[in-house]
Amino acid sequence: MNVGIVIVSHSPKVAEGTADMVRQMVGDEVPLAWCGGNPEGGLGTSVGDIMEAIDRAWSDAGVAILVDLGGAETNSEVAVEMIGEPRSKKIVVCNAPIVEGAVMAATEASGGATLREVVATAHELAPA
């Protein structure tokens, strides 16, 4: 089973558009889910939505989360903690640009790479 990819943006349009790019460029071999927007539908992120997205993209091989700005990262980390062990040990919030990171991570995942390899591929895109 391939590693799953979760895309978390403050904007649902950015998250959905990023997911569209992953689907077109990588295909359907990778479990993929996205979420964006705060609990009222404005710009922001929602821990509950992130937890649900992780469920949708769940893979026993693990899940890599790609985020945009600070609050998306913090909320994703909280979501992972609230999911708790043992699943939380198989979820990583990546330090990478959201669009490039999602496409590259999904490409790596589609070839059957491990979670560690998928995350490393995404991290190569992070500014030094």
Partner 1 sequence: MTDTLASIDIRELVEACATMISAHADELTALDQAIGDGDHGYNMRRGFDALLAEADALAAKPLPDALKAAGTKLVMTVGGASGPLFGTFLMALGKDMPASPDRSAFAAAFARAVDAVAARGKSEAGQKTMLDVLYPARDALAAGRSAAEIAAVADAAAEATVPMKALRGRASFLGDRSIGHMDPGSRSSALLVRTVAETLGA
Footprint of partner 1 (CB under 8 A): 38-40, 42-48, 69-71, 74-75, 77-78, 82
The one catalytic residue among 8, 9, 10, 58: 10
- Min. distance of Cβ 67 from partner 1 in angstroms? 11
Q: Is 123 part of the annotated catalytic residue set? A: no
- Min. distance of Cβ 66 from partner 1 in angstroms? 17
Task: List beta partners, residue 6.
Answer: 33, 65
- In angstroms, the CA 14 to CA 35 distance is 9
Kindly state the helix (H) or strand (E) to which residue 7 belongs, with its residue range. strand 4-9
Name the one residue in this structure whose structure tokens are 């295909």.
27
Catalytic residue list: 10
